[in-house]
Amino acid sequence: MALPDWTNGNGTNIWSDGANWSTAVKPQAGDTVTFTNTSVANCTVDEVTAEIASLTIGGTSSGVYSGTITGSNKIQMTGNMVIEDGCTGTFDMNADIDIDGDFTGDGVGVTVLCGSGTWTCDGNFDNKDIGTWTAETSTVVLTTTNSFSVCLDMSRCIVHVGMRKGNAIPDNCSGPASVRWLGAWGSFTGLAVTLNMPYCIVSCAMRERLGLTV
């Protein structure tokens, strides 16, 4: 496992150029990738599929990244994706984002533009502290019974069958719809916070616990 940190050393601003990374090799499957204040230059993900272990976009802890990560190609992570508190960058990926681990997003100065891709998260999903989360026409798919804390705009949210009540088929909600946290359940947080979702698929059990208004 390597620890490539974005340097933009070759000045080409592209992911696939090994000279733009601290390891002098473009990120490989199994690598822990970071964007920090080593370089705040923009990066275009130009791989057909960027396969890595994890992605951290730096904030106060690792060094604030203030650039833009953009592209239209898939990023596949076998571990976690973290946007640290204090980060002021932009994650503008019009592509599928597959996270086998957890997604944690912090920072009021962060902008996430989701485009038309699908965000698939197999672990816990928490985007509630991101300053600007723009769903556009994207879909967020939560594939396990783990927790999620969301309080920003989403285009579509699909919750795994494990969260459903028995084998009941959930209703499709015509928008705009809102989910309001009515109390603590698992890692749900933020009383009276509203999540705007023009289209969503949720479980009957989830609707009972959280309250759903169409």
Contact status, residue 146 vs residue 185, Cβ threshold 8 Å: no
| Digit-coded pLDDT (tens) for 159-188 | 443 333 222 223 332 222 223 222 222 223
* pLDDT tens-place string over residues 74-117: 999 999 999 999 999 999 999 999 999 999 988 889 999 988 88
CB 58 within 8 A of CB 65: yes
pLDDT band at 145 (very low <50, low <70, confident <90, very high): low
Average pLDDT over residues 189-208: 41
Q: What mean pLDDT is reported for the chain?
A: 75
CB 197 within 8 A of CB 179: yes
For residue 36, the model assigns a pLDDT of 98
Torsion of CA 89, 135, 177, 130, to 10 degrees: -10
Neighbours of 54 (CB within 10 A): 20
Contact by Cβ (8 Å): 210, 188? yes
DSSP per-residue letters across 135-164: -TT-EEEE-SS--EE--S--SEEEE-GGGS
pLDDT recorded at residue 11: 98
17-21, 122-126, 198-202, range with the lowest pLDDT: 198-202
pLDDT score of 144: 60
Q: Find the angle CA(178)-CA(188)-CA(206) to the nearest 5 degrees.
A: 55
Strands (E), the chain: 32-35, 43-45, 49-52, 54-57, 68-71, 74-77, 81-83, 90-93, 97-99, 103-105, 111-113, 118-121, 125-126, 132-134, 139-142, 148-149, 156-159, 172-180, 194-201, 212-213
Enter the pTM of the model: 0.75
Nearest of 96, 94, 92 to residue 77 by alpha carbon: 96
More confident residue, 50 or 117: 50
Measured CA to CA, the distance from residue 93 to residue 168 in angstroms comes to 34
What is the C-alpha separation between 158 and 156, in angstroms, rounded? 7
Give the range among 69-78, 128-137, 171-180 with minimum mean pLDDT.
Answer: 171-180
With beta carbons less than 8 A apart as the criterion, state whether 130 and 109 touch.
no
pLDDT given at position 126: 82
